[in-house]
């Protein structure tokens, strides 16, 4: 039997999303190999990845921090922290101003963990003052959870101020930094963080397949016997790595090979600072260009992250997002629909292996689809955005 003919290689679309996102060709190429999950060479790569993550986080000098890899998306990591690290008598305060804060609430419901939701509107950062009042009223709260960059809107929550309140009341502080870690500097000690969760396919520009949890070792060891799940037992996962360097269950080998390469590329770019500068320039280019073609962003600039930005629909009653999306996709640009129910928005991410020239190309395509004047489109393509 003859081998089938290879499929033609098409140019991948550019992903203007908060992850999964566009990756480099070298990260893609790293997956063109097989790896034995028990083999010592692969285990050495896993060990290096864990050590390098601590370095990226600025935690490599401290013996009390662990980077624990876990199969699955970032949601698995958040649920693993809840399922492992909240005692039977514990209570979690969830600060929520978007869909991912609400998802945390659902995890706690399913795990039957006592909790309370402290909600703010989707265009308003979570309030340290409201948390202070809540913790003064409710002495049963043992843990505080917040999403750093809530990609529902693109808002950035003040984790340092929230962490200071949690620390004052001796509450364990859990941060979902899925869309921010690796692109926005985070000072773990200044923020009073006890657990932080992120994912391979966000600002570190790997591919989906696993998440990782930064945990204070002393705090995690004190959670012995609390786990409500076998596969999501974060302490057992750490013990597995310490026993033989291996995942307890089948690891996403190709995702890990890609991530190893992605971490090398992060170092070449100048670490979190260098990558964050590129993302910031992407965002600034996006805001300037969209403003030039008459499209308004949803959030106030002072609370907007450089990760993903929500935009109001054009002032045209004939605008149809599904048609707009298809036409953009036909030109090789993928964006996100809005996630806020009360307002018509769409979202554009500025992270991943994309650059200012890619942002300008996207804006020019949007301007063309919306029938903006040719002079405006030409100025955008010539990088003369005002």
* Three-class HEC string of the chain: CCCCCCCCCCCCCEECCCCCCCCCHHHHHCCCCCCCCCCHHHHHHHHHHHHHHHHHCCCCCCCCEEEEEEECCHHHHHHHHHHHHCCCCCEEEEEECCHHHHHHHHHHHHCCCEEEEEECCCCCCCCHHHHHHHHHHCCCCCEEEEECEECCCCEECCHHHHHHHHHHCCCEEEEECCCCCCCCCCCHHHHCCCEEEEECCCCCCCCCCEEEEEEEHHHHHCCCCCCCCCCCCHHHHHHHHHHHCCCCCCCCHHHHHHHHHHHHHHHHHCHHHHHHHHHHHHHHHHHHHHHHCCCCECCCHHHECCCEEEEECCCCCCCCHHHHHHHHHHCCEECEECCCCCCCEEEEECCCCCCHHHHHHHHHHHHHHCCCCHHHHHHHHCCCCC
- Alpha-carbon dihedral sign for residues 145, 149, 150, 155: positive
Q: Among 47-56, 160-169, 225-234, 370-379, whose mean pLDDT is lowest? A: 370-379
Mean pLDDT calculated for residue range 235-259: 97
CATH 3.90.1150.10 fits domain 271-381: yes
pLDDT at 375 over 80: no
pLDDT band with cut points at 50, 70 and 90 for residue 10: low
pLDDT at 200 over 60: yes
pLDDT at 3 over 80: no
Average pLDDT over the chain reads 94
User: β-pairing, 336-337 with 65-71?
Assistant: unpaired
Please tell me the distance from the alpha carbon of residue 264 to that of residue 127, in angstroms, as a whole number.
Answer: 37
pLDDT band with cut points at 50, 70 and 90 for residue 386: low
Contacts of residue 19, defined as CB under 8 A and 6 or more positions apart, other chains included, come to 178, 179, 199, 201, 202, 203, 208, 349, 351, 352
Q: What is the pLDDT of residue 340?
A: 86
Please tell me the distance from the alpha carbon of residue 97 to that of residue 93, in angstroms, as a whole number.
Answer: 13
pLDDT at 205 over 60: yes
φ/ψ of residue 149, rounded to 5: -110, 105
- The token duo for 25 is 């060709």
Mean pLDDT calculated for residue range 350-377: 91
pLDDT at 275 over 60: yes
Residues of the chain with CATH 3.40.640.10: 25-267
Please tell me the distance from the alpha carbon of residue 376 to that of residue 354, in angstroms, as a whole number.
Answer: 22
More confident residue, 287 or 375: 287
| Residue 45 to residues 76, 197, 253, 265, Cα–Cα distance (Å) | 22, 21, 10, 16
Q: What is the pLDDT of residue 1?
A: 40
- Alpha-carbon dihedral sign for residues 313, 314, 319, 321: negative
Please tell me the distance from the alpha carbon of residue 201 to that of residue 252, in angstroms, as a whole number.
Answer: 13
Mean pLDDT calculated for residue range 234-262: 97
Residues of the chain with CATH 3.90.1150.10: 271-381
pTM over 0.85: yes
Instruction: Tell me the per-residue pLDDT of 307-352, one tens digit each, with 9 for 90 and over.
Output: 999 999 999 999 999 999 999 999 999 999 998 878 999 999 999 9
pLDDT at 163 over 80: yes
Residue from 355, 159, 177, 157 nearest 274 by CA: 355
Q: What is the pLDDT of residue 8?
A: 44
pLDDT at 9 over 50: no
- How many other C-beta atoms lie within 10 A of the C-beta of residue 322? 8
- The token duo for 152 is 């529902």
Measured between its terminal Cα atoms, the distance across the chain in Å is 61
Mean pLDDT calculated for residue range 100-117: 98
Residue from 350, 372, 186, 172 nearest 272 by CA: 186
Mean pLDDT calculated for residue range 258-284: 98
Indicate the angle between helix axes 271-292 and 253-269, nearest 10 degrees: 80
pLDDT at 147 over 70: yes
pLDDT at 6 over 80: no
Secondary-structure class of domain 25-267 per CATH: alpha beta
- The token duo for 307 is 């990760």
């Amino acid at each position: 039997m003859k081998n089938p003919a290879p499929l033609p290689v098409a140019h991948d679309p550019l992903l203007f999303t908060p992850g999964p996102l566009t990756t480099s060709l070298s990260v893609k190429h790293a997956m063109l190999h097989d790896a034995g999950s028990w083999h010592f060479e692969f285990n050495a790569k896993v060990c290096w990845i864990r050590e390098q993550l601590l370095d990226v986080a600025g935690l490599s000098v401290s013996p009390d921090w662990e980077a624990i890899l876990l199969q699955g998306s970032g949601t698995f990591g958040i649920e693993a922290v809840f399922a492992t690290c909240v005692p039977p008598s514990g209570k979690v305060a969830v600060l929520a101003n978007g869909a991912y804060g609400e998802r945390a609430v659902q995890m706690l419901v399913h795990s039957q963990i006592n909790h309370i939701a402290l909600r703010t509107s989707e265009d308003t950062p979570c309030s340290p003052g409201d948390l202070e009042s809540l913790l003064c009223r409710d002495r049963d709260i043992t843990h505080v959870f917040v999403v750093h960059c809530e990609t529902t809107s693109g808002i950035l929550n003040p984790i340092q101020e929230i962490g200071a309140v949690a620390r004052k009341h001796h509450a364990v502080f859990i941060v979902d930094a899925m869309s921010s870690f690796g692109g926005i500097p985070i000072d773990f000690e200044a923020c009073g963080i006890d657990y932080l969760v992120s994912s391979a396919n966000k600002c570190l520009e790997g591919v989906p397949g696993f998440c990782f949890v930064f945990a204070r070792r002393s705090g995690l060891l004190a959670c012995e016997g609390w786990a409500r799940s076998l596969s999501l037992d974060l302490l057992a996962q750490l013990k597995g790595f310490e026993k033989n360097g291996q995942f307890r269950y089948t690891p996403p080998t190709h995702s890990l090979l890609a991530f190893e390469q992605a971490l090398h590329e992060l170092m070449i770019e100048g670490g979190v600072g260098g990558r964050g500068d590129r993302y910031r320039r992407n965002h600034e280019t996006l805001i300037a260009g969209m403003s030039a073609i008459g499209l308004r962003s949803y959030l106030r600039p002072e609370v907007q992250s450089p990760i993903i930005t929500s935009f109001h629909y054009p002032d045209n009653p004939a605008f149809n997002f599904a048609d707009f999306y298809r036409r953009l996709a036909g030109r090789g640009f993928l964006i996100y629909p809005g996630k806020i129910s009360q307002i018509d928005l769409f979202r554009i991410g500025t992270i991943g292996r994309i650059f200012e020239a890619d942002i300008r190309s996207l804006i020019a395509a949007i301007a063309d689809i919306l029938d903006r004047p040719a002079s405006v489109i030409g100025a955008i393509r010539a990088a003369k955005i005002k």
